[in-house]
Structure 1
Amino acid sequence: MNLIIDEGNTRIKLAVFDETLLVDLVVTSIDGCEETIQKVITKYDIKSLIVSSVTDEINHIVSGLKLLNKVVLSNETPLPFKNLYDTPKTLGVDRLALVTAAWSQYPNQNSLVIDAGTCVTYDFINKQGEYLGGAISPGLKMRFKSMHSFTKKLPDLDIPLSRVDIIGKSTKQSMESGVLNGMVFEIDGAIAHYQQKFKDVNIILTGGDANSLCKQLKNSIFVNPNFLLEGLNAVLTYQSKNEAKLK
């Protein structure tokens, strides 16, 4: 069994995989996380572990775990694609995992992964297995927060759960339209650009806000909320292969 630990900006996910099958998913915070990890390791007799952290807060916990196979994902971890990013040391490990998932599940194909979370990231890998880069923009919650923080009268709003009309008839509705529909226009525009430039492109949408966005996108996409976890599992699996050891 593999244990996947994904520490994001707001929460920690613990996922247990039996080969490629996700068998359990636990969401926790840094407080009490060590005890939760120990319980999961004992329950499932975990043999291998990988951690991806955007904050590095959990790494000291993982370093104390007594497992034979531990991987802390970094820019130096061997991966099954060629990284052509100009500044690889600044590339987030979550983006590396997403690209690994795309290449593992859609080999020898062009793929664009859109991760709609705290920030929205766009990552593209071509059919030659070359990661070319992408883009980063503010996520839905960040956009709402910024309007409230940088003005004196605009309210602090939550992300709407249903479709939003393009014409807002109140300040609240106008803000919701600007944020949600603006995000939809951004994503649809990015997809159209990649499809025009690279022709056949798989579009994968993931992240905490994926379900809020997918219903309004006009493009054909694959929605997979666990794509990052699957990518981390693919990275961990890849480490046992000879080609990874030769890198």
Structure 2
Amino acid sequence: MLLAVDIGNTKIKAAVFEDDVLLERFVFDKNDTAVTIENIFKSYTEITVSVISSVGKDAPELLLELEKRGRLVIIDRDLKYPFTNKYATPATLGVDRMVLSAGTVLLYPGKNRLVIDAGTCVTYDFIDSNDNYLGGAISPGLQLRYNAMHNFTAKLPLLYPEMPKEYIGDTTAGSMHSGVVNGMLHELEGFVRQYNEQYQELTIILTGGDADFLAKRLKNTIFANSNFLLESLNLLYLYTITND
């Protein structure tokens, strides 16, 4: 068994895998690390490998806990990936984006692929049908947009994602929800339209904490999977051990 761990900007997410099957998923705060890891290994005594990637701040307590319990693999840019990285500044490309791209290549071979991660930030990553990683885009996520309006104005309230009742907001809160949520949906659909115009047979994967919230409102055909980064970690590990 394998434990995949993703240290995000706000939460730690983990999942237990047996081969390519996800058995259970966990989401926890960093100050709950010791208790959560203890409970996971008590429930799944056959875990022998932990695979970890991080975009957030280091979590030394988590690394120490995992090192005590078997083999620990930390995913970095030096790993063997199943695509050719053509990013102009490869040293600045986030490991999370590389992991997601690897997952799309391994799950959808021979396709043009766009993976969208709707989390704290929204990242767009494109890999063509020849397995060339070309890049993408980064923009603020839903909550960041709400936070920015609250923090950089004098009177706008702090709100949280909520689907607007109408696209014409008739209150301040309604106007903010319309601007943030509809703005995000228009952004997503605009990017997808641009890629579709240039690349045929485009496979689109939507993941991240806001994936389910957004997927229900999108008109385009996409695969929505909020666990895709964890699944990609597992797939990438299986790929590396068979391609050493």
CA distance in 2, matches of 1:210, 1:239: 28
CA distance in 2, matches of 1:89, 1:60: 26
- Which residue does 2:232 correspond to in 1? 231
CA distance in 2, matches of 1:78, 1:60: 27
Shift of 1:61: 3.5
1:20 equivalent to 2:40? Answer no
Map 1:28-47; keep pairs closer than 5 Å: 28-44=28-44, 45-47=46-48
Runs of 4+ in 1 over 3 A off after TM superposition: 66-69
Shift of 1:89: 1.6
1:146 equivalent to 2:132? Answer no
SS in 2 for 1:237: helix
Number of aligned residue pairs: give it.
242
CA distance in 2, matches of 1:163, 1:173: 6
CA distance in 2, matches of 1:76, 1:195: 32
What letter matches 2:149 in structure 1? M
SS in 2 for 1:219: coil
Task: Say if 1:49 and 1:236, in contact at 8 Å, map to a contact too.
Answer: no
Shift of 1:13: 1.2
CA distance in 1, matches of 2:108, 2:188: 21
Equivalent pairs: percent with the same residue?
45
Shift of 1:68: 5.4
- Which residue does 1:134 correspond to in 2? 136
Equivalent position to 1:89, from 73, 88, 91: 91
* TM-score, normalization by structure 2: 0.94
CA distance in 2, matches of 1:37, 1:83: 34
In 2 relative to 1, CA 209–84 (structure 1 residues): closer, same or farther, beyond 3 Å?
A: same
Map 1:65-84; keep pairs closer than 5 Å: 65-66=67-68, 69-84=71-86
Task: Say if 1:82 and 1:130, in contact at 8 Å, map to a contact too.
Answer: yes
- Which residue does 1:167 correspond to in 2? 168
- Which residue does 2:8 correspond to in 1? 8
- Which residue does 1:184 correspond to in 2? 185
Q: Which runs of 5+ in 2 are unaligned?
A: none
CA distance in 2, matches of 1:172, 1:60: 40
Task: Say if 2:5 and 2:53, in contact at 8 Å, map to a contact too.
Answer: yes
Task: Say if 2:10 and 2:56, in contact at 8 Å, map to a contact too.
Answer: no
- Which residue does 2:120 correspond to in 1? 118
SS in 1 for 2:17: strand
Shift of 1:93: 1.3
CA distance in 2, matches of 1:163, 1:19: 41
Q: CA RMSD in A?
A: 1.6
SS in 2 for 1:79: coil
CA distance in 1, matches of 2:209, 2:187: 17
What letter matches 1:51 in structure 2? I
* TM-score, normalization by structure 1: 0.93
Shift of 1:16: 0.2
